Amino acid sequence: MAPGTHDDLIVLRPQGLYCPAGDFHIDPWRPVARAVLTHAHADHARAGHTRYLATAASEGVLRTRLGQGIALQGLAYGEAVDVNGVRVSLHPAGHVLGSAQVRVEHRGQVWVASGDFFASGIDGDINATCAPFEPVRCDCFITESTFGLPIYRWRAQAAVLGEINAWWQANADAGRASLLLGYSFGKAQRLLAGLDAAIGLIVCHGAVEALNEVYRAAGVVLPATQRLDAVSKADLKRAIAIAPPAVQGSAWARRLGEHSDAFASGWMQLRGARRRQGVDRGFVLSDHADWPGLQRAIAATGAERVIVTHGYEAVMVRWLQQQGLQAGSFQTQYGDDAAEAAHETP
In angstroms, what is the minimal distance from the CB of 288 to Zn ion?
8
Binding pattern to Zn ion, positions 31-50, x when CB under 5 A?
----------x---------
CB of 296 to Zn ion, least distance (A): 20
Other Cβ atoms within 10 Å of 105 Cβ, number? 18
| Three-state SS at 5 | coil
Cβ closest to Zn ion, residue 154 vs residue 168: 154
Nearer to Zn ion, 190 or 238 (CB): 190
Residue 286 vs 295, nearer CB to Zn ion:
286
* 324 vs 11: CA distance, rounded Å: 22
**DSSP codes of every residue in 308-344:** EEEESHHHHHHHHHHTT-EEEE-------HHHHHTT-
CA distance 118 to 109: 25
User: How long is the chain?
Assistant: 346
Give SS3 for 11. strand
Specify the residue, 111 or 118, whose C-beta has the smaller distance to Zn ion. 118
* Residues 305-344, mask of contacts with Zn ion (x by CB under 5 A): ----------------------------------------
Under the binding rule (CB under 5 A), the answer on residue 144 touching Zn ion is no
- Which residues are 260's β-sheet partners? 178
- Counting beta carbons within 10 angstroms of the beta carbon of residue 318, is it exposed (0 to 12), middle (13 to 18) or buried (19 or more)? exposed
CB of 90 to Zn ion, least distance (A): 15
How far is residue 103 from each of residues 38, 61, 134, 140, measured CA to CA in Å? 11, 22, 12, 10
Q: Output the smallest distance, CB 96 to Zn ion, in A.
A: 6
Closest to Zn ion by CB, 39 or 176: 39
Nearer to Zn ion, 105 or 116 (CB): 116
* Residue 197 CB, nearest approach to Zn ion (Å): 27
How many residues touch Zn ion (CB under 5 A)? 2
Site for Zn ion in 96-125 (CB under 5 A): 116
> Which residues form the interface with Zn ion (CB under 5 A)?
41, 116
